[in-house]
């Protein structure tokens, strides 16, 4: 067995302390933003029954066919999968716990998802998403509100160069008519279809429209469009979404090739895209999925939602030069000597009781070495206790940022003096 250091699984990355500050800041902004729209947090397990995703996402999809981390539980033989997305899990939880019994639900979740893909910038095998689901809402107003929500977040984060693409997948009847026309069209051009497209021709021809194969782009561009099959309520719904977005001044492009990678979508679908992340330009995507709740065993109910990739959004922020907010450490507490050591931990707790953030030096060392640690800690000031100070129940307060003279202070007065120093 090799004695070399163990490595993380490829495509599953550590988030180190220097990076985590930006994640924490982002998560705080997102929580505040979601609360502003009345969404409540829900937390689901990482593992689900494999059948949930096969039933919800669709068996003839890249996710189910190629990308899921699935295995048999060695203890009881259950077929389990690490969640590749959050919507199916969220709907399963809402049904299992009767959340839709009395009223519609606005829910959000955050956490890791897992797909076995080729790792590249902004796309990893363990990636993190913020997911937003509105369950039990039928009208176009919730579709539009979720898009407006996203626009507000981009503005709040300062994210630029992001565009909105919009489409409608209509209802079951229009999709069936479109499916028949697609099959007839692609049958006439079988010599151009790649292996994936030929395999999906009769099982899921809509997925062919999402092909990234350059050799098929001209064929896909001239394929029959689902938009031409919309009628009645589906047209009115889509027009209402557009009207609300126009009232809010949100620009969009109608993209008839936008079909999303999951089978459960119907009517409105949308993606927020950027040109700044290479081929993986989608930073947020979603739409309406009215059939999913019934599809996984619940009483049929309308629903709409979206998810955004945290890594991709943070990559945009970092490209714009955003750094993690500086750690807000107020005090680094330096101490040396038997009496000083005995007093120092109690002083640190007293300062924390006053709402201050305090790092107590551990591991001994000279005053010079400890002060070097204090300077590197980012703390606003150092509190220094030696045996002489301990006997007098005092400490030396030394500003570490922005100048100022050090001063001898009674321990009881430290919280007030430090508060004056850092305000």
Boundary of a domain, candidates 290, 319, 348: 319
pLDDT of residue 47: 95
The answer to the question of residue 237 being in a domain is yes
Give the least confident one: 67-76, 315-324, 331-340, 366-375. 315-324
pLDDT of residue 309: 92
Q: Are residues 310 and 389 in the same domain?
A: no
Q: Are residues 144 and 91 in the same domain?
A: yes
pLDDT of residue 130: 97
CATH number of the domain to which 346 belongs: 3.40.50.800
Residue 317 has pLDDT above 70, yes or no: yes
Contact between 383 and 397 (Cβ < 8 Å): yes
Q: Are residues 380 and 270 in the same domain?
A: no
Q: Are residues 64 and 166 in the same domain?
A: yes
Mean pLDDT estimate for the chain: 88
| Rounded (10°) angle between helices 140-157 and 232-247 | 30
Contact between 103 and 261 (Cβ < 8 Å): no
Domains of the chain: total: 2
Of all residues in the chain, what percent carry a pLDDT higher than 70?
96
pLDDT of residue 361: 93
Mean pLDDT, residues 308-324 taken together: 86
Q: How confident is the model at residue 274 (pLDDT cuts 50, 70, 90)?
A: confident
Residue 263 has pLDDT above 70, yes or no: no
Boundary of a domain, candidates 269, 285, 319: 319
Q: Are residues 272 and 161 in the same domain?
A: yes
Boundary of a domain, candidates 270, 285, 319: 319
pLDDT of residue 420: 85
pLDDT digits (tens, 9 = 90+) for 120-154: 766 789 999 999 999 999 999 999 999 999 999 99
Q: Are residues 81 and 162 in the same domain?
A: yes
Q: Are residues 271 and 342 in the same domain?
A: no
The answer to the question of residue 180 being in a domain is no
- Global pTM? 0.84
Residue 1 has pLDDT above 60, yes or no: no
pLDDT of residue 352: 94
Q: Are residues 236 and 313 in the same domain?
A: yes
The answer to the question of residue 8 being in a domain is no
Q: Are residues 302 and 336 in the same domain?
A: no
Contact between 381 and 366 (Cβ < 8 Å): no
Residue 29 has pLDDT above 90, yes or no: yes
pLDDT digits (tens, 9 = 90+) for 188-226: 888 888 888 888 888 778 778 777 788 888 888 888 888
The answer to the question of residue 21 being in a domain is yes
Q: How confident is the model at residue 240 (pLDDT cuts 50, 70, 90)?
A: very high
Residue 48 has pLDDT above 80, yes or no: yes
Residue 93's contacts (CB-CB under 8 Å, 6 or more residues apart) are 42, 44, 99
Distance CA 77, CA 72 (A): 5
pLDDT digits (tens, 9 = 90+) for 279-309: 668 899 999 998 899 888 888 899 999 999 9
Residue 336 has pLDDT above 80, yes or no: yes
Distance CA 99, CA 74 (A): 32
Contact between 133 and 91 (Cβ < 8 Å): yes
Distance CA 384, CA 337 (A): 11
Q: Are residues 135 and 59 in the same domain?
A: yes
Mean pLDDT, residues 68-75 taken together: 89
Q: Are residues 236 and 312 in the same domain?
A: yes
The answer to the question of residue 249 being in a domain is yes
The full length of the chain comes to 423
The answer to the question of residue 239 being in a domain is yes
Give the least confident one: 161-170, 193-202, 370-379. 193-202
Question: In Å, what is the CA distance from 87 to each residue of 57, 61, 74, 166?
Answer: 9, 16, 27, 20
pLDDT of residue 124: 84
Residue 338 has pLDDT above 60, yes or no: yes
pLDDT of residue 30: 96
Domain coverage including residue 29 = 17-170+230-319
Q: Which tokens hold the place of 193?
A: 């279809």
Q: How confident is the model at residue 61 (pLDDT cuts 50, 70, 90)?
A: confident
CATH number of the domain to which 106 belongs: 3.30.930.10
HEC profile of the chain: CCCCCCCCCCCCCCCCHHHHHHHHHHHHHHHHHHHCCCCEECCCCCEEEHHHHHHHHCCCCHHHHHHCCEEECCCCCCEEEECCCCHHHHHHHHHHCCCCCCCCEEEEEEEEEECCCCCECCECCEEEEEEEEEECCCCHHHHHHHHHHHHHHHHHHCCCCEEEEEEECCCHHHHHHHHHHHHHHHHCCCCCCCHHHHHHCCCCHHHHHHCCCHHHHHHHHCCCCHHHHCCHHHHHHHHHHHHHHHHCCCCCEECCCCCCCCCCCEEEEEEEEECCCCCCCEEEEEEECCCHHHHCCCCCCCEEEEEEEHHHHHHHHHHCCCCCCCCCCCEEEEECCHHHHHHHHHHHHHHHHCCCCEEECCCCCCHHHHHHHHHHCCCCEEEEECHHHHHHCEEEEEECCCCCCCEEEEHHHHHHHHHHHHC
Residue 199's contacts (CB-CB under 8 Å, 6 or more residues apart) are none
The answer to the question of residue 10 being in a domain is no
Residue 335 has pLDDT above 90, yes or no: yes
Distance CA 342, CA 244 (A): 66
The answer to the question of residue 293 being in a domain is yes
Q: Are residues 260 and 379 in the same domain?
A: no
Residue 292: how many CB atoms within 10 A of its CB? 28
């Amino acid at each position: 067995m090799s004695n070399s250091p163990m490595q993380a699984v490829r495509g599953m990355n550590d988030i180190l302390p220097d990076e985590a500050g930006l994640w924490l800041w982002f998560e705080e902004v997102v929580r505040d933003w979601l609360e502003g729209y009345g969404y409540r947090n829900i937390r689901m397990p990482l593992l689900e029954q494999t059948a949930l995703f096969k039933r919800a996402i669709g068996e003839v999809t890249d996710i189910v066919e190629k990308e899921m981390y699935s295995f048999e539980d060695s203890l009881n033989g259950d077929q389990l999968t690490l969640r590749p997305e959050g919507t199916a899990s969220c709907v399963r939880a809402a049904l299992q716990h009767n959340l839709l019994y009395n009223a519609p639900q606005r829910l959000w979740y955050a956490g890791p998802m897992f797909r076995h893909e080729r790792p590249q910038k902004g796309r990893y095998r363990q990636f993190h998403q913020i997911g937003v689901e509105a369950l039990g809402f039928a009208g176009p107003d919730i579709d539009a509100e979720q898009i407006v929500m996203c626009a507000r977040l981009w503005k709040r984060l300062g994210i630029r160069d992001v565009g909105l693409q919009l489409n409608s997948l209509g209802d079951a009847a229009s999709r069936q008519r479109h499916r028949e026309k697609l099959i007839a069209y692609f049958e006439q051009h079988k010599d151009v279809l790649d292996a994936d497209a030929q395999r999906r021709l009769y099982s899921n021809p809509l997925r062919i429209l999402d092909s990234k194969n350059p050799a098929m782009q001209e064929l896909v561009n001239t394929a029959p469009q689902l938009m031409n099959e919309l009628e009645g309520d589906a047209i009115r719904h889509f027009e209402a979404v557009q009207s609300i977005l126009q009232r809010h001044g949100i620009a969009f492009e109608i993209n008839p090739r936008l079909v999303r990678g999951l089978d459960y979508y119907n009517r409105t679908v949308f993606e927020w895209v950027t040109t700044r992340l290479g081929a993986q330009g989608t930073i947020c995507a979603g739409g309406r999925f009215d059939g999913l709740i019934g599809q996984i065993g619940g009483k049929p109910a309308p629903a709409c939602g979206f998810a955004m990739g945290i890594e991709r959004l943070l990559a945009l922020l970092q490209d714009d030069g955003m750094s993690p907010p500086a750690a807000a450490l107020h005090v680094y507490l330096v101490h040396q000597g038997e009496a000083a050591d005995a007093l120092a931990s109690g002083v640190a707790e007293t300062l924390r009781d006053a709402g201050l953030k305090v790092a107590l030096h551990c591991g001994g060392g000279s005053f010079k070495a400890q002060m070097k640690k204090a300077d590197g800690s980012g703390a606003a000031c150092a509190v220094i206790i030696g045996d002489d100070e301990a006997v007098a129940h005092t400490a030396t307060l030394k500003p570490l940022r922005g100048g100022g003279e050090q001063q001898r202070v009674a321990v009881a007065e430290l919280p007030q003096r430090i508060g004056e120093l850092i305000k």
